[in-house]
Amino acid sequence: MYAQMVKTGVDHIQSKEEMSPEERAFQDRVDQDIKIEPKEWMPEAYRKTLIRQISQHAHSEIIGMQPEGNWITRAPTLERKAILLAKVQDEAGHGLYLYCAAETLGVSRDELMEQLNSGKAKYSSIFNYPTLTWADIGAIGWLVDGAAIMNQVPLQRCSYGPYSRAMIRICKEESFHQRQGYDAMTKLARGTPEQKQMAQDALNRWWWPSLMMFGPSDAESVHSAQSMRWKIKINSNDELRQKFVDQTVPQAEYLGLTVPDPDLKWNAERGHYDFGEVNWDEFYQVIAGNGPCNRDRLRTRVKAYEEGRWVRDAADAYAAKKAARTKAKAA
Amino acid sequence: MTDKKEWPLWEVFIRSQHGLAHRHVGSLHAPDAEMAIMNARDVYTRRNEGVSIWVVRASDIAASSPSEKGPLFDPANSKVYRHPTFYEIPEELGHM
């Protein structure tokens, strides 16, 4: 999940009796699966939570370009390079769709950029891990995008119209991301013993961080309960994580790779895989800014923003010059 | 860190094939119309989604108010006779 542990600002779930008439009417519409659109009345907490969730998601797409961008110039073939370039370009596009959706809730693009560049905003923990070998690019597409899809597909049905529409666009493109990753992994897994070892090593390093993407168990979380009631969260974190494990383990087996979890076992009774406990201490460390790449990601982001300033200034100056010319001609 | 003035927001409309109408696909920021079209190409047509792009400043769009949805659209509710299914055509006539 690209948005992790989104706070709703509520301390309990309101009963319908406690709600104001407006809140009740709003909740009734959500219950009936009627989409909420930008200018319509909505509870302040709904609006704020959505801004937090959508912008966190957008920031993740933007920062998410870095681990993969790292390999564009070193892709093994021209074809792989073109594919990776297209994928990273998609991530930028996804970030832009999502920023636009967030802006319909009354936050400005500059505020969002400022939150990201100042380090105030959060983005997914997964992008704070380094991409050490080419196999990591395959593993990211397969596992990270696979986990993202798990979460994004249900969000296509979320209650907020612009977010739902952005999710529909994103999901259409995301499937290419996962498939190209699995394809790259397949090549390596069927290659020389060294290449297969590289694929295994990437799986070893990305497996647990991918499971962390769904966030810690939220069975007891009032924020998750509230978000689910508002239909801006559709499944619980544990539910999605289980689904991801069930789907991914056979894919690893097909590649002849071993999932790095000694507790992983098919449970015929449950009809699901049992798996080991995620190291949540590590997760909280990464979220707190102490992951392997947190500082580097932010530094790179700010540098790109600063170094692009002259382009923005030039575009501004050109637009102003043209506007002045049009005005002079009209006079 | 923030630029002095934010670029205006543009709404983007794409016509997917000849013969179909332009359809709203999303929005973006750009300093002028020309840049908005160029950005729209990169953001909204990476997979051949379009043969034509319109951009319009979001601030130039006038919209009906959501709170007046009732009074605005009610009048059409009672006019079922505007739909072909309102009329029964004898079956032996076949398609009409």
Structure tokens at B49: 């989604």
Q: Quote the CA–CA distance of A171 and A178 in Å, as a whole number.
A: 11
Distances in Å between the Cα of A199 and the Cα atoms of A77, A190, A210, A279, B51 are 17, 10, 16, 22, 41
Interface of B with A in 15-54 (CB under 8 A): 25-32, 34-35, 42-43, 46-47
Query: What is the Cα A48 distance to its own chain's centre?
Result: 19
Asked whether the beta carbons of residue B31 and residue A41 sit closer than 8 angstroms, the reply is: no
Which of A114, A169, A316 faces B31 most closely, judged by CB atoms?
Answer: A316
- B73/A contact by beta carbon, under 8 A: no
pLDDT score, position B19:
84
- A114/B contact by beta carbon, under 8 A: yes
- Is pLDDT at B1 greater than 70 in this prediction? no
Summarised one tens digit per residue, pLDDT across range A197-252 is 999 999 999 999 999 999 999 888 888 999 999 999 999 999 999 999 999 999 99
pLDDT score, position B4:
61
pLDDT score, position B24:
95
Distances in Å between the Cα of A41 and the Cα atoms of A32, A118, B45 are 16, 31, 33
Asked whether the beta carbons of residue A39 and residue B3 sit closer than 8 angstroms, the reply is: no
Alpha-carbon torsion, ordered A178, A61, A233, A280, to 10 deg: 80
Look up residue A293 and give its DSSP letter. S
- Ramachandran region, residue A5 (left: φ > 0; alpha: ψ -120 to 50; beta: rest): left
Query: What is the Cα B11 distance to its own chain's centre?
Result: 9
Distances in Å between the Cα of A291 and the Cα atoms of A70, A139, A210, A302 are 18, 19, 14, 18
Low-confidence ranges of chain A (pLDDT < 70): 1
- Ramachandran region, residue A289 (left: φ > 0; alpha: ψ -120 to 50; beta: rest): left
Give B2's pLDDT tier (boundaries 50, 70, 90).
very low
Closest listed residue to residue A97, CA positions, set A167, A160, A189, A201: A167
- The one-letter amino acid at A118: S
Element (H, E) at B56: strand B52-57
Rounded to the nearest angstrom, the minimum Cα separation between A193 and chain B is 37
Contact A74, A135 (CB under 8 A): no
Interface of A with B in 249-308 (CB under 8 A): 302, 305
Asked whether the beta carbons of residue A315 and residue B35 sit closer than 8 angstroms, the reply is: yes
Closest listed residue to residue A2, CA positions, set A55, A66, A49: A55
Helix axes A44-63, A222-229, angle to 10 degrees: 100
Say if residue A134 is exposed, middle or buried (CB neighbours under 10 Å; 0-12, 13-18, 19+). buried
Interface test with B, best of A35, A89, A97 (most B CBs within 10 A): A97
pLDDT score, position A219:
83
Summarised one tens digit per residue, pLDDT across range B21-64 is 999 999 999 999 999 999 999 999 999 889 999 999 999 999 98
**Total residues belonging to chain A:** 331
CA-based end-to-end distance of chain B: 66
pTM: 0.92
Closest listed residue to residue A99, CA positions, set A124, A79, A116: A116
Residue, of A305 and B68, whose pLDDT is higher:
A305
Closest listed residue to residue B56, CA positions, set B34, B33, B31, B25: B33
Q: Is B26 helix (H, G, I), strand (E, B) or coil?
A: strand
